[in-house]
Amino acid sequence: MISYRAGYEYQLARPYTVGVEIKPAENVWTDYIRLDTNGLLTIERGYSWDGPSGPAIDTPNFMRGSLVHDALYQLMREGYIDRERHRKTADQILKRICREDGMSAIRAQWVYLGVRIGGAMSADPKGERPVISAP
């Protein structure tokens, strides 16, 4: 029997490291995500994420932002960083990275508003994808 979670579309081919504005009191280490006290976020090779969510289009200027945002939301869901304190910052990081990658200011603002309005459940522990079993 196998156990898995459905809904992931992309898998990171190489580790990715970026500085973020979230700086936890203690280093966070999971199987695929590290966030140190200086705000250095490392996402390991093999990390899976679903890309831009909702009605969004998976364009190159959205992929890096969606990766970082999904990793930060996962840390919130799993209780490594406080969701009440860091969710808005994670959403702002998404917008910043999308702008850095060439997304128009108007689209980046819509992306930001979308996660502000509809993203709360994705940062909630109850939003964790269920484990499915198959023979």
Residues whose CB is less than 8 angstroms from the CB of residue 42 and which lie 6 or more positions away in sequence, other chains included: 15, 16, 17, 33, 34, 35
The pLDDT, as a whole number, for residue 39 is 98
Chunk the chain into consecutive blocks of 10 residues (it has 135) and report each block's average pLDDT, rounded to whole numbers. Answer: 80 97 97 98 95 86 97 96 97 98 97 91 77 80
Domain boundaries, the chain: 2-126
The pLDDT, as a whole number, for residue 121 is 83
The pLDDT, as a whole number, for residue 56 is 82
The pLDDT, as a whole number, for residue 131 is 81
- Strands 16-19 and 10-11 turn out to be unpaired
Give the global pTM.
Answer: 0.90
Alpha helices in the chain (DSSP H): 60-77, 83-100, 105-118, 120-123
Residue appearing with tokens 């973020």:
20
